[in-house]
Structure 1
Amino acid sequence: LSTPVLMESLEKQLICPICLEIFTKPVVILPCQHNLCRKCANDVFQASNPYLSSRSGTTVTSGGRFRCPSCRHEVVLDRHGVYGLQRNLLAELTDCVSMLVGNNERIQAIIGHLDETSRAVDENGRRQKSKVCEVFDHLFALLEERKAEMMVRITGEQEEKLDYIRSLNKKYSEHLEGSVKLLETAIQTMDESEMAVFLQAAKPLLQKLVQATSTSHLDKVQPGYEHLDHFKANFETQRRVLMDISFKLDDKEEDSEEEVELQRPQPLVEPAAKQQPPQPP
């Protein structure tokens, strides 16, 4: 039999015909095999024998009669009264079994509720993890975007300085190439055997040599021009904020998913006044 059917069958067997409730221990069995709560049996006995005196609800006479409320069979009591009736241990055991079955049903309901709660906790845990990961992914994306912007600024000045240095390199290389050619011409002129030819070439060559020894017209890189350490990023404030990231504890649960609004960070790099390339005279 299923548990509900078994419970219904047990309850029918455990109903006292006097109080119409579950038997109250101890349970007595009448000679006709019907059962009564001993208290109910004593009440019926006293109602059927009003002439018998009692003290504190306990019959003190030496016997009496009453009829079974179920079949009207006459029950004759000995000197012990209802206390002389046999206890129905089966009925009491059945009562305990009924209580145990009911208790098992409650336990089974609790187990079902625990299983449901466990599934809810597992599902909620996965959902909250997904939300937190989504927020951190968004934060990582913002950091990557900000890092890219800062790299662009550094790369911009880096390329500007490299372009300027390359232009100076080209100018100095051209000046060196002209000086080498001029030196070759001077050596050839010094080896000239004819004096007239030597004198004709020496004077303009001397002027060119003097000009070649001067580099004042060429720009020069100032000391420290190669440095880029003025791009200093101060992350201390952001580091403290990140270390303080935690869960927001609210008394009321929000029905909709909480959207995390991240404020666009302020510039982290404040470059100092960079050295401008010297202008040619």
Structure 2
Amino acid sequence: MCFRLGTHIGQHERLCLGEKFRCPTCRHEVILDRHGVYGLQRNLLVENIIDIYKQDYSRPEKKKENHPMCEKHEDERINIYCITCQVPTCSMCKVFGAHKDCEVSPLQNIYQTQKTELSNCISMLVAGNDRIQSILGQLEELCKSVKENSQKKKDSVNEVFEEMSRVLEEKKADLVQRVSQAEEEKIDFVRTLIAKYQEQIQSSSNLLQSALQASEQAGHATFLLEIQTAY
């Protein structure tokens, strides 16, 4: 039986000894003894809900106006939190409604707990954002460093290839000059040989001419003199 004297004494103090009635929550039949309603079993949960209900209504009217109301019980403010369903609800929903078998807690307790958790999450997010911002700064510096180092490498490569190109041009010019010089030397040598062979041909032609003339002489003495002169 879940009916409590502390929560319903105003409604049932008129009941008489031996009178029967049913608990409005569990529908268990109760018979009053000589103690009357004061002999009923106490329901601490309902008493706590009533205490919360009284505290809420004892607050200034300005706060009451902004307080959300229960959708199921339009006259009841949301003042407890259903831990089982993880939703805020009202006292009537706990006593008679959908949350009567659920575990509940005062709304203020859950509010403080979740507010603390939210504050911790916000602090973690802020700290995480700071760390990410720091990492982003480091990555930006890394990009800058990579660009600077890459530019230095490019300049170094260009300098090396420009030096190699200069050396190759000098080597090319030297080789071309050597080839040209060798060409001139060989041509001069060949031309000298040509001149010598031309002189030899001319000498041979002259000798041949003299020999022919000598062969045409009739006398022996004249022939021998011509031959001697030719040689």
TM value normalised by structure 1: 0.36
Greater share of residues in helix: 2
Highest CA radius of gyration, 1 or 2? Answer: 2
TM value normalised by structure 2: 0.43
